[in-house]
Structure 1
Amino acid sequence: MQVSNQAAGDSGGMPHWSSRFAFIMAAVGSAVGLGNIWKFPYMAGTGGGGAFVLMYLGIVLLFGVPILIAELMLGRMAQRAPAAALAHLGRTHGGTTAWGWIGGMGVIAALLILSFYSVVAGWAVAYIPEMLSGELANANAERTAEVFGALLANPEQLLVWHSIFMVATVAIVAGGVTKGIEAFVTWMMPALFIMLLFLVGYAMVEGEFLRGVAYLFRPDFSAITVDVVIAAAGQAFFSLSIGLGTMLAYGSYLPRDVSIPKTAVTVALADTSVALLAGCAIFPIVFASGLNPGEGPGLVFVTLTVAFGSMPFGMIVGAVFFLLLAVAAITSSISLLEPIVATLKERSGLSRPLLCVLIGLVAWVMGLATVWSFNDWSDVKVLGDRTPFDTIDYVTSSIMLPLGGALMAVFTGWVLSSETLRRELGFDSEALFGFWRFLIRFVAPVGVAAVAIQKILG
């Protein structure tokens, strides 16, 4: 379905995706990021493999998909940026604009996350030339840990990669919804899947594939603890970009003839598939090299680089892997920047390119706190024993995102009427609608709040 020139641009009205495929690629790109390829495998490794995966899938189904449907619907209904969208819907359906602060909180969370996300994504970019140089060929774990430690200890080097990644993010979003974001994701998301499938194929040939798959999918129920449940919930919530206003902003560009429930399920399935495929690519290689799958955050940058260094064509495969990681990261970073730009453009009237540069600069400066958290400020503690980076990560992922998601669920389930929801969502059956409404009214908000409270108190 094509749109008019006015709709496709960023002036004269709300832009729209040129097709359902373009929107799905953008939404999947937002959901697929470092969390899927870097974080999910190591969290599964430390969480007992299949036990973590089982909890993750259950939480995506019961919490993630219902709230994702709600966010997309709210955006399309309001045809406004996140804060204005909820304020408008709150006024027209609930008699108050106070709900708008939820969208505003999501925009602030997106800015905070973008500031440290760009730094961490820079690590992946830095490892592409590192792999191609061949310096890590046949390196042991001590050597790869030394290289990774040297990267984190060098603020100037971190700053360079942080800057490169932020400039790329700003350039894409400055191009607009169709010429910038859509043009990028419709090419790069299929490329990402191809690279990931290539790595899985490589793992099948060179790794202990059956052992890796068994580890990932065979649940050890004795490993399911409160901490595993909390970790799985946090990962599912962060991975689906819920509570940030991202999906609300993307939903505002969604044409009326697209089914939101079907699209949300497609996005969740694609997002989960990438995480599972990443595990299928990583664990067989780790096991074949006799390494520890429960290594933690260093699984990719320390442990996996040992495996690449000892395998045929490992340096080339390693470079492809970190390119995959960088592409996944930038498809998410542009979705973090977009709701901020949309909100300020609506309020200020400034041009999109100018706003992208200004916001990117602010996020870049804020990112310095993360850069220095690994070196010069490593002894600086903000909340308890947390570094500035750990504090930003904790406040956004443990408080702001869950709170925003839970309140969006409450607004959707309790403020909007069932007639409005039926009209906007168009479920194929009344039974499916009733099940979703039960989840969005009771299960999702209570479950998300309970997990968040447990994480804060723990």
Structure 2
Amino acid sequence: YITGEYGGGAFVLVYLACILAVGVPVMMAEIAFGRRGRGSPIEAIANLAREAGARPLWKVFGWIAMLAGFMILSFYVVVAGWSFSYLWKMASGALSGHSVAELGAIFEAGNANPWALGGWATLVTVVTMLIVGRGVQEGVEKSVRWMMPGMVIMLLIMIGYALTSGNFSAGFHFLFDFDVTRLSSEGVLAALGHAFFTLSLASGAILTYGSYLPSGTSIARTTFTVAIADTLVALMAGLAIFPIIF
């Protein structure tokens, strides 16, 4: 949506530049903080401040990161609830044979029903709690091990569908042709913000990830691996969506 709003290929190029120039260094710093502090954002920053002889008030930044993570989670359980809702509607045939306007009305009707919206969000919350409650290795790692490949396979299927059923050429050119006249200062700022958003920076997530990173692991290699994988998935999503739109 943001790529479509702010100029297509021009936005993508600035976004990639922001990932490289800002996102990667910030991610390296967060991973380093987490690995050195060995704890949650609050504990890690408090440990580092104590080690450096700095004031304990530095841990306030850890609390801010935790608050940001909580706010992001509160947003995402609703969006993930939409996905569960759409999966049910798709399986029951409720999405087939409708016009764009009718599909928009289905979405709006779902959002207008607080019980349905809250119910799906609650389901996502419970599933998340069950996974996270099992711990990093037994819960998060085991689920991500099949969820992430599954997502990539679904994206590849959607790209194949876009290639055969959509205007793939128009979507490809929109996504990768650099037209500077379509880029605004607001678009540049959005690209910077999106770089932070897609890499989960400044929310405590990467800092926590770093706290579990073994001492001998290369921070640079880990950072570039995550940044490249994240960016490839984003571009794949664009190749799946824009040809269908065109």
Q: For the aligned residues, what is the CA RMSD?
A: 1.2
Unaligned runs of 5+ in 2: none
Equivalences for residues 235-384 of structure 1 within 5 A: 235-287=194-246
Q: Tell me which residue corresponds to 2:174.
A: 215
Q: Tell me which residue corresponds to 1:301.
A: none
Partner Cα separation in structure 2 for residue 133 and residue 48 of structure 1: 37
TM-score (norm 2): 0.96
1:84 maps to amino acid: E
1:135 CA drift (Å): 2.8
Partner Cα separation in structure 2 for residue 47 and residue 170 of structure 1: 36
Q: Which runs of 4+ in 1 moved over 3 A?
A: none
Q: Tell me which residue corresponds to 1:88.
A: 47
Equivalences for residues 132-281 of structure 1 within 5 A: 132-281=91-240
1:59 CA drift (Å): 0.7
Q: Per the alignment, in what secondary structure is the counterpart of residue 137 of structure 1? A: coil
Q: Tell me which residue corresponds to 2:11.
A: 52
1:164 CA drift (Å): 0.6
TM-score (norm 1): 0.53
Residue 72 in 1 paired to residue 31 in 2?
Answer: yes
Q: Per the alignment, in what secondary structure is the counterpart of residue 169 of structure 2? A: helix
Partner Cα separation in structure 2 for residue 173 and residue 166 of structure 1: 10
Unaligned runs of 5+ in 1: 1-41, 288-458
Q: Name the stretch that deviates more: 130-139 or 235-244.
A: 130-139
- Percent of residue pairs identical: 46
Residue 98 in 1 paired to residue 43 in 2?
Answer: no
1:55 maps to amino acid: V
1:94 CA drift (Å): 5.0
Return the structure number with greater relative CO, CA threshold 8 A, min gap 6. 2
Q: Tell me which residue corresponds to 2:80.
A: 121
Q: Which has the higher helix share?
A: 2
2:230 maps to amino acid: D
Aligned length: 246
Q: What per-residue deviation string (whole Å, max 9, x for no partner) do you get for residues 246-276 of structure 1?
A: 1111111111121111110110111111111
Partner Cα separation in structure 1 for residue 72 and residue 99 of structure 2: 33
Partner Cα separation in structure 2 for residue 182 and residue 142 of structure 1: 40
Q: Per the alignment, in what secondary structure is the counterpart of residue 213 of structure 2? A: coil
Equivalent of 2:67 in 98, 102, 108: 108
Q: What per-residue deviation string (whole Å, max 9, x for no partner) do you get for residues 392-424 of structure 1?
A: xxxxxxxxxxxxxxxxxxxxxxxxxxxxxxxxx
Q: Per the alignment, in what secondary structure is the counterpart of residue 52 of structure 1? A: helix
2:69 maps to amino acid: A
Partner Cα separation in structure 1 for residue 100 and residue 236 of structure 2: 24
Q: Tell me which residue corresponds to 1:300.
A: none
Q: What per-residue deviation string (whole Å, max 9, x for no partner) do you get for residues 321-351 of structure 1?
A: xxxxxxxxxxxxxxxxxxxxxxxxxxxxxxx
